[in-house]
Amino acid sequence: GDAVPVAQRGSWSSFLKAIASMSGDLSSMTAPPFILSPVSLTEYPAYWCERPELFAQIADAKTSEERALAVLRWFISTLKGQYTTRNESAGSEKKPLNPALGELFYGYWPDKDGRGQTTLLTEQVSHHPPITAYVIENESKGVKLVGHNAQKTSFSTGSIIVKQIGHAVLTVKLPSGGEEKYVLTLPRLRIDGLWYGAPYIELSESTYIAGGGYVGVIDYKGKGYFSGKSHSFKATLTPQGGGGKDIVVEGTWHQNSKFTSGGHGIFHDVSTPKEIVTAIGGEPSGEMGPMETRKLWELVAKGIREGDFDLASKEKTRIENEMRQRRKDETASGTQWELKHFKPLDVDPVYEKLAQNTKIAPSSEDTYVFRNNWPETLQAKKK
Ligand code: 0T9
């Protein structure tokens, strides 16, 4: 059936025509109301930690092989949240709110069963093109993820192809006192179902996890490949330096997988419930400041949720005009917007080092260094 409300069919087909003829940045295009999500892209990094126990378990591994497997298990287990959540909660993929420069999102997952608290901080570090930087830390366990991401979109035979740009670095404190770093790359997305107004995501190509003496390659396939099932993957973990044997796991990332070489039984299983992040204000009072996502977009989100699209569009225009004016004032005064939590760097030495001798491409990437300045309200959550 056609998922587009009758009154919006015209605007949906104009929207599709517009995306077919442009490439690059879809995020700033105006889409019909039925496809709008009330959630800003600054909230998406929370998907990395909706199973906080798997994130914490990386620190509990006893050997480097166990650790590399724990990193892979946590990574694979985030994919269902990252790429199917909107379909499950809203019936299809939706267009997220396009974050403003300097937009902030803070949150945490409470301690439970001794796994420790995990805190999340996101900052929109660029508006044009949209780039989101984030850090997720479980300080008591000594596990930290710092990353950034952007997208390059194109249109091909009725689908949107999204190339993700950016990477993340996971740092784990070792019982011996040292630390280990892993570089993670991001999958390519194909957005199908556009014609029917019911878009959904399939992953393709490969991602890499390199570090701790291992290189993991995750190959993604949809319907009609390996097993013929949607959301299939095959992950191969290879010890570096030669000699060791590969470990292979296969399955569907939104369900489960098992070892097909170098191990036995179930590898990952995401049929258990996930834990949504708790948003928290970053002001000393505990309130949300004007650049914090849920404060900034409050009325736009309300309008979208309640079907009051006049309110949503009026408020969206107001925010966009305010931001435009801010940029003009900066140009006029010869100043620049100062990022609050991150510092841009042209090259990431950790990425360069770990991508060496692997098939990770490109071999060089820029990065955003976290200034290590958690707001007090989150610092208090780390104890
Ligand atoms: C990083 C994730 C990313 C962000 C989203 C492509 C997309 C914006 C980026 C890659 C997260 O870790 C994982 C999940 C979903 C991705 C979004 C899906 C999507 O459709 C949007 C783009 C910009 C659109 O909104 C396209 C138009 C829309 C009508 C299709 C639903």
ipTM: 0.98
DSSP secondary structure letters along 334-368: T--PPPSSEEEES--HHHHHHHTTS--SSS---EE
Residue 201 alpha carbon, nearest atom of ligand 1: 18
Q: What separation in Å is there between the alpha carbon of 256 and the centre of ligand 1? A: 24
Please give the model's pTM, rounded to 2 decimal places.
Answer: 0.97
Q: How far is CA 127 from the centre of its chain?
A: 16
Q: Which residues does residue 182 pair with via DSSP β-bridges, in sequence order?
A: 170, 211
The angle that helices 52-60 and 64-90 make with each other, rounded to 10 degrees, is: 180
pLDDT at position 208 over 70: yes
Q: What separation in Å is there between the alpha carbon of 144 and the centre of ligand 1? A: 24
| CA–CA gap between residue 13 and residue 36 (Å, rounded) | 15
Residue 15 alpha carbon, nearest atom of ligand 1: 29
- Six-digit token pair at 259? 């070892």
pLDDT tier for residue 231 given thresholds of 50, 70 and 90? very high
| CA–CA gap between residue 375 and residue 34 (Å, rounded) | 36
* Angle formed at CA 288 by CA 284 and CA 289, multiple of 5 degrees: 85
Report the share of the chain in percent with pLDDT over 90.
91
- Most distant CA atoms of the chain, gap in Å: 64
Mean pLDDT taken over the chain? 95
The 10 Å CB-count burial string (b at 16+, else e) for 70-100 is bbbbbbbbbbbbbbbbbbeeeebbbbbbbbb
Query: Probe ligand 1: pick from 82, 87, 194, max atoms within 8 Å of CB?
Result: 82
pLDDT at position 382 over 90: no
- Six-digit token pair at 269? 């299983």
Please report, for residues 118, 156, 205, 288, 377, the alpha-carbon distance to residue 285 in angstroms, rounded to integers and kept in the order given.
Answer: 21, 49, 46, 9, 8
**Peptide linkage before 129 cis (omega within 30 of 0):** yes
Query: Probe ligand 1: pick from 98, 136, 191, max atoms within 8 Å of CB?
Result: 191
